[in-house]
Amino acid sequence: ISPDHFIPLAEDTGLIIPMGEWIIHRVCLTLKKWEAQGIQLDDFAMHINLSVKQLMQKGLPRRLADLFAETAVRPEWIVLELTESSIMESEALGLDVLTALRQIGVRIAIDDFGTGHSSLSRLKQLPISELKIDRSFIRDIDEDAGDAAIVQTILALSSNLGLLVVAEGVEHASQETFLLQN
């Protein structure tokens, strides 16, 4: 089953909550195992997609802090990803929850950036650490002037806000060259 069908079903049935907790726990155990094997994790982060339902669970920041303490995993090794549309469209999304997550050391990324309805005033208020440029802009970046302009703008915006940026779907040397030059 493709994620496009599976994830909404998991959200509708409520299974997204226990699945998400299991995934985060497994990620922590994997990171700890890698560290014990001598893998250098200082310049590494494991990205985990979250739905708004997961994010709005009561006590999520405290539970994550407890899990990090229990597994001895450094929170900066974790990046929680939320889609642009879920962050921008959900008024229920608590800025205080995102802030609490950042305070325990977790990084927050906006996934699929450029495909939703961003509010720049909301974007500057969010305690995020990175933007992920959607692959739809990267695919034809070296052939489509519009895609190139959008990516350049997102790169400039990210730089000016002090955010890391990830370009999804880089598959060709010409795409890599364009991104590195910009």
Mean pLDDT over 7-34 rounds to 94
Q: At what angle do helices 16-36 and 3-13 cross, to 10 degrees?
A: 120
The pLDDT assigned to 83 comes to 84
The pLDDT assigned to 149 comes to 95
The pLDDT assigned to 93 comes to 59
The pLDDT assigned to 92 comes to 54
CB 85 within 8 A of CB 112: yes
Mean pLDDT over 155-164 rounds to 93
Least confident of 60-64, 73-77, 90-94, 163-167: 90-94
Interatomic CA distance for residues 54 and 56, integer angstroms: 5
pLDDT at 88 over 80: no
The pLDDT assigned to 60 comes to 92
pLDDT at 89 over 70: no
Work out the mean pLDDT of the chain and round it to a whole number: 90
Q: Looking at per-residue confidence, does 71 or 90 come out higher? A: 71
The pLDDT assigned to 91 comes to 57
pLDDT at 52 over 70: yes
For 115, 137, 151, 156, 178, the CA distances from 142, given in Å and listed in that order, are: 19, 10, 11, 18, 7
Share of the chain above pLDDT 90, in %: 66
The pLDDT assigned to 3 comes to 80
Query: What is Dmax (Cα atoms) for the chain?
Result: 50
